[in-house]
């Protein structure tokens, strides 16, 4: 059986929780060379990882994610570290735990579990059983280091989500999972937002939260959120969107989202029924601090429509209904301008 669920208890106390921001883009800004594994920094530069977590705790995060997104043997093999899965994940959780424990308030440490990067049979060579083993190996390390939740994220394939969930159940950690709906409003493997809740049906333990992260921008993930909360009202739904849209400036990627935009994203996410809201790629400490402030003062308002989201946050990039929603919102903006 899994251990006590810390997320429900904190939601009962606070209503809506703020998860942290970006790991990778902030670590690159802190000096991580492109192509290197962030997980190796848990051993070579633990103070950098602690600084990352501390920045998010200081900004007001209720949940911080361990620096372990690529912590399976399959991802670590690319950096010749596949024999160090347990220790690197344990260290990731220990660093986050040390920051959370001195926060002066409750901060949940969630063990980040990303995809293996492999395709499961029949599309690829990885068997379901081997995927469960690989995820269990990672989650054992995260649990040993003090992670309270297995945070399965940026997933595309339903069977890979199930494998990671099954591993979390085996290890004895409650789990959440989020998909990345970055391909015409679906995950790369075709999963729709409205179907995210059913992915773990039949497993011995249900997830304590499901949702979406990453993707292509704040507007699209909010549109996905509407589908997820409509499909299962009252569920603990997570939304952890990118900070606007990525754009290349020379060789560097910049994200278009301002603190003001991310604050409005928070307000819309609350209105759309999210219980856990955070930022993904590009979300800095300053963005998260603005999001905390917005969350603390916002009173839940009318459920937004896709058109409202487009009007306030910007055009949808890849959802099937985007052309119509973008056109309607642009028409409303034009009518307001002509009245002014």
Residues making up the binding site for Zn(2+): 214, 280-281
**Any idea of the CA torsion for 237, 243, 248, 250, to the nearest 10 degrees?**
-140
Q: How many CB atoms lie within 10 A of CB 301?
A: 10
**Annotated binding site: which residue ranges?**
214, 280-281
Helix H, strand E, coil C: the string for the chain is CCCCCHHHHHHHHHCCEEECCCCHHHHHHCCCCCCCCHHHHHHHCHHHHHHHHHHHHHHCCCEEECCCCCCCHHHHHHHCCHHHHHHHHHHHHHHHHHHHHCCCCCCEEEEEECCCCCCECCCCCECHHHHHHHHHHHHHHHHHHCCCEEEEEEECCHHHHHHHHHHHHHHCCCEEEEECCCECCECCCCCCHHHHHHHHCCCCCCCCEEEEEECCCHHHHHHHHHHHHHHCCCCCEEEEECCCCEEEECCEEEECCCHHHHHHHHHHHHHCCCCEEEECCCCCHHHHHHHHHHHHHCCCCCCCCHHHHHHHHCCCCCCCCHHHHHHHHHHHHHHHHHHC
């Amino acid at each position: 059986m899994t251990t006590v669920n810390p997320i429900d208890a904190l939601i009962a106390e606070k209503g809506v929780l703020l998860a942290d921001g970006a790991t990778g883009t902030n670590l690159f800004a802190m000096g991580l060379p492109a192509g290197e594994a962030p997980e190796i920094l848990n051993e070579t530069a633990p103070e950098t990882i602690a600084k990352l977590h501390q920045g998010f705790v200081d900004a007001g995060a209720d949940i911080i994610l361990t620096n372990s997104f690529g912590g399976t043997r399959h991802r670590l093999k690319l950096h010749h570290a596949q024999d160090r899965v347990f220790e690197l994940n344990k260290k990731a959780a220990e660093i986050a735990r040390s920051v959370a424990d001195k926060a002066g308030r409750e901060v949940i440490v969630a063990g980040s579990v990303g995809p293996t990067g492999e395709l499961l049979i029949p599309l690829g060579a990885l068997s379901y059983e081997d995927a469960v083993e690989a995820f269990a190996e990672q989650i054992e390390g995260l649990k040993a280091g003090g992670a309270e939740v297995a945070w399965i994220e940026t997933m595309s394939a339903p069977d890979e989500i199930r494998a990671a969930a099954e591993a979390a159940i085996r290890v004895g950690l409650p789990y959440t999972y989020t998909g990345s709906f970055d391909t015409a409003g679906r995950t790369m493997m075709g999963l729709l937002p409205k179907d995210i809740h059913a992915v773990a049906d039949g497993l011995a333990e249900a997830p304590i939260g499901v949702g979406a992260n990453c993707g292509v921008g704040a507007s699209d993930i909010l549109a996905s959120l509407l589908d997820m909360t409509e499909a299962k009202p009252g569920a603990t739904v997570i939304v952890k969107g990118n900070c606007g849209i990525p754009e290349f400036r020379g060789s560097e990627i910049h994200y278009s989202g301002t603190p003001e935009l991310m604050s409005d994203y928070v307000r819309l996410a609350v209105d759309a029924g999210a219980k856990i809201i955070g930022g993904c790629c590009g979300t800095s400490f300053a963005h998260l601090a603005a999001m905390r402030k917005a969350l603390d003062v916002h009173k839940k308002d009318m459920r937004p429509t896709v058109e409202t989201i487009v009007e306030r946050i910007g055009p949808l990039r890849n959802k099937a209904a985007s052309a119509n929603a973008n056109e309607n919102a642009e028409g409303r903006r034009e009518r307001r301008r002509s009245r002014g």
